[in-house]
Amino acid sequence: MKNTQKEIESTVADKNETQKPLFFNGSDYDHARDSERLTSQYQVIFDLMKDGHERTLNQIALITGYSSSSISAQLRHMRKPRFGSHVVTKKYLGNGLFTYGLIVNQKAVD
């Protein structure tokens, strides 16, 4: 069953499930410059995807306004232990197109 746009916006706005503090890194990462932006990006994408519905990067981009490369990076982060060790599913649709889903690690959000 597909969510309506209103249901998706409600899901994204729901902040009841919060993550532990997030710790980003990388050669170009500057905490003062990037932490707030990346944390917000992560949380918006997490809040959208926690409903378990599969979406393409483009569908996530249309809903969130973030670039596909940023979304892909945040989905990769979700798999890492320091970001909760969530399960991110990936299914091939064809012609280079994939859908992604999120199975939340409840131990990381409780």
pLDDT tens across 86-96, in order? 999 999 999 99
Using an 8 Å Cβ cutoff, are 71 and 77 in contact? no
Position 19 pLDDT exceeds 60? no
Chain-centroid distance of CA 4 in Å reads 19
Confidence at residue 92, expressed as pLDDT on a 0 to 100 scale:
98
Q: Global pTM? A: 0.80
Q: Which residues of 76-103 are buried (b: 16+ CB within 10 A; e: fewer)?
A: ebbeeeebbebeeeeeeeeeeeebbbbe
Grouping H, G, I as helix, E, B as strand and the rest as coil, residue 75 is: helix
Position 14 pLDDT exceeds 70? no
Q: Centre a 10 Å sphere on the Cβ of residue 64 and count the other Cβ atoms it contains.
A: 19
Confidence at residue 20, expressed as pLDDT on a 0 to 100 scale:
57
For the stretch 62-85, pLDDT in tens is 999 999 999 999 999 999 999 999
Give the span between the Cα atoms of 43 and 100, in whole angstroms: 16
Please, what are the domains in the chain? 5-13+25-109 (1.10.10)
Confidence at residue 23, expressed as pLDDT on a 0 to 100 scale:
86
Q: Centre a 10 Å sphere on the Cβ of residue 57 and count the other Cβ atoms it contains.
A: 19
pLDDT band at 110 (very low <50, low <70, confident <90, very high): confident
Query: How far is the CA of 98 from the CAs of 17, 66, 72, 91, in angstroms?
Result: 27, 17, 11, 5
Position 45 pLDDT exceeds 50? yes
